[in-house]
Amino acid sequence: MPEYKTEPFIVPSISGLLPVGERNPRVALTSFDPREKKVQVPSREVTCYECGRRSHVPSAALSANCIHCHAHLNMTDIELKPGSRRLTVRTLGNVTIAPDAVLSHLSVVCHHLDMGGRASGSFRCSGTLTISGGTRIEGSVQAASLVVNKGISVILTQGAALQDATIYGRVSGRIEASGCVRICRGGELCGDCCAAEIQVEQGGAHLGNWIRP
Ligand SMILES: [Zn+2]
């Protein structure tokens, strides 16, 4: 039985690229040189609101695609005005609800949310949810921190899951916080509070149980 040895057929001069001197220097890909200094585009880290994983995107971008799940990520700031018919908002930017707006059945995922008007629905904020208009929220509320401004009355029918909360106004509902809940002077929390720490300043009140996690 004769033994066949196949020699690899290699043509060393054919690589698909032109010799360096003949390449068009204006075409970036064909003149790629790994020793060239990389242009550093300022980037920021974002957490995808669809899959929850982190990736880096150029700071100036207004949208991007998640490198993990390819979801389209909106990064613009959005204002919801009175009469807005937009119910679903997904952005890594900030959302403002205008003071004279009355909106319900919203589903908002954003960084900071400034709620000036009366808004109901579900809200998930990776930053601060600031409530500066009296409202009754029928859906779920999640935020890194919650601030309820002075003189404002908020009803959270499904409660809120937070890291921290600072209450200057009046809140009815159950609060779960991994950090500290601060009830400031003139503030009132009416409902059970499951938090690592709770601070009730003089002139503030907590009507409910404190449950340590
Ligand atoms: Zn993703």
Q: Of 50, 75, 100, which closes a domain?
A: 75
In a domain, residue 140? The reply is yes
Distance in Å, CA 79 to ligand 1 centroid: 24
Distance in Å, CA 142 to ligand 1 centroid: 19
- 55-90 per-position pLDDT tens digit: 888 888 899 999 999 999 999 999 999 999 999 999
CA dihedral 77, 80, 85, 89 (to 10 degrees): 40
The amino acid occupying position 11 is: V
Distance in Å, CA 50 to ligand 1 centroid: 5
Distance in Å, CA 41 to ligand 1 centroid: 21
Domain match, 58 and 160 both: no
- Alpha-carbon gap, residue 66 to 69, rounded angstroms: 6
Domain match, 62 and 128 both: no
In a domain, residue 16? The reply is no
How many structural domains compose the chain?
A: 2
| Ion ligand 1 contact residues with beta carbon within 5 A | 48, 50-51, 66, 68-69, 71
* Closest CA relative to residue 114, chosen from 104, 125, 103: 125
In a domain, residue 127? The reply is yes
Give the 3-state secondary structure of residue 199: strand
Q: What is the DSSP string of 37-60?
A: PPP---EEEEE-TTT--EEEEETT
- Alpha-carbon gap, residue 104 to 138, rounded angstroms: 9
Q: Which residue has the higher pLDDT, 90 or 34?
A: 90
Domain match, 203 and 167 both: yes
* Cβ atoms 176, 212 nearer than 8 A: no
Distance in Å, CA 143 to ligand 1 centroid: 19
Terminal Cα-to-Cα distance of the chain (whole angstroms): 78
Distance in Å, CA 84 to ligand 1 centroid: 28
Domain match, 83 and 56 both: no
Least-confidence region, from 7-21, 46-60, 66-80, 127-141? 7-21
pTM to 2 decimals?
0.78
* Cβ atoms 68, 47 nearer than 8 A: no
Residue 99 structural domain:
77-211
Please give the DSSP secondary-structure letter assigned to residue 122.
E
The tokens of 146 are what? Answer: 């919650």
